[in-house]
Amino acid sequence: MTTNTQAQLGADNNTKVLEVCKVCGKAVKMELYVLGRSKTVNCKCECDEQKRKREEQERRKQEFEHERSLNKKYSLMDNKARSAVFENLTVTEENKKYIMAAENYCRQWELNKRENNGLLFYGKTGRGKTTIACCIANRLLDTGVSVKAMSVIDMLQRIRDSFNSYGTDGETELKGEIKRADLLILDDIGAEHKTDWSAALVYEIIDARYRSGKPTIITTNLTISALRDHLTDNNGVARAYDRLVEILSLVEFKGTNYRQAISEEKNYNFFEGVKE
């Protein structure tokens, strides 16, 4: 290193640059002469700070990816539910308002979460309620939101199983996960065989979500008044229903029965080319 370079690097008669940063060229190790003694000091350049920031960013990104894959893994969704994505839906004049509103619900997730905006999809069978609810689940799971989605029948079965396998602790743990998820989707409420046990459990979950202010999306093919009856307890009090109407926007799914349309298309293919 020439004297000139030493001077350029900020060295003088009492200092000597021992090492420079390979990236920015600034001095990172100096020798100081104080009262006839020499001392080596390390100094930092901005590259250190930048490197630390990059590593921190990378660590956060990995944590997010990890969290996201765990959320997906433990979403409790079955394979059909996992495969429902907005990108694969057939958009028609009839269904596009549901699809657009559902995508909008995802875009406004932070607001919906803050204000506990849930949804009640109701309507006759085969109108796409489950499909759209699952598209919302998958879109939000992709952005790192913790979502649990399952049918009420499945939820009751899982809770029963967890009790049978792991006792009260197992049951409490699973119920806790369902209660704590950022978003809970309970599909097909009203399809379950109602017993005192199932009614109490459904109430417990709805009440916990209501009290903690966490959004829930519910689908049903019951009419609103039949749903109210379904959620009315033996004493004639509609406690669970009253909580739901306070936090859910009611969305009626009308239009074509997809299942019938799919089955007609299949029948056509089946007989195609057959001569009588």
Ligand X SMILES: Nc1ncnc2c1ncn2[C@@H]1O[C@H](COP(=O)(O)OP(=O)(O)OP(=O)(O)O)[C@@H](O)[C@H]1O
Q: What is the CA radius of gyration of the chain?
A: 30
CA distance 121 to 105: 13
What binding mask, one character per residue, do residues 3-22 give for ligand X by CB under 6 A, x or -? --------------------
Does 130 help bind Mg ion (rule: CB under 5 A)?
A: yes
Distance CA 128, CA 134 (A): 10
Asked whether the CA dihedral 168, 173, 178, 179 is positive or negative, the reply is positive
DSSP state of 234: T
Per-residue interface string for the shown chain with ligand X, residues 210-229, x marking contact by CB under 6 A: ---------x-x--------
Q: Give 241 or 253: the residue with its C-beta nearer to Mg ion.
A: 253
- To which H or E segment does residue 198 belong? helix 196-212
237 versus 250: smaller Cβ distance to ligand X? 250
Could you say whether residue 131 binds Mg ion (CB under 5 A)?
no
Write down the least CB distance from residue 142 to ligand X, Å: 19
Nearer to Zn ion, 1 or 250 (CB): 1
- Closer residue to ligand X, CB minimum distance, 6 or 249: 249
Min dist. Cβ of residue 126 to Mg ion (A): 8
Place of tokens 């046990």: 197
Least distance (Å) from Zn ion to the CB of residue 112? 45
Beta bridge partners of 198: none
Pairing of strands 15-20, 27-34: antiparallel
CA distance 56 to 9: 30
| Interface positions with Zn ion (CB under 5 A) | 21, 23-24, 45, 47
Binding mask 94-133 for ligand X (x = CB under 6 A): -x-----------------------------xxxxxxx--
- Phi-psi map region of 103: left, alpha, beta (phi>0 left; psi -120 to 50 alpha): alpha
Placement of tokens 């549901």 in the chain: 98
Q: Which of 3, 90, 165, 168 is close enough to bind ligand X by CB under 6 A?
A: 90
Residue 138 near Mg ion by CB under 5 A: no
- 53 by Cβ neighbours in 10 Å (0-12 / 13-18 / 19+) ranks as exposed
Distance in Å, CB of 224 to ligand X, minimum: 14
Q: Using CB under 5 A, list all residues that contact Mg ion.
A: 130
Residue numbers at the binding site for ligand X (CB under 6 A): 89-90, 95, 125-131, 188, 219, 221, 253, 258-259
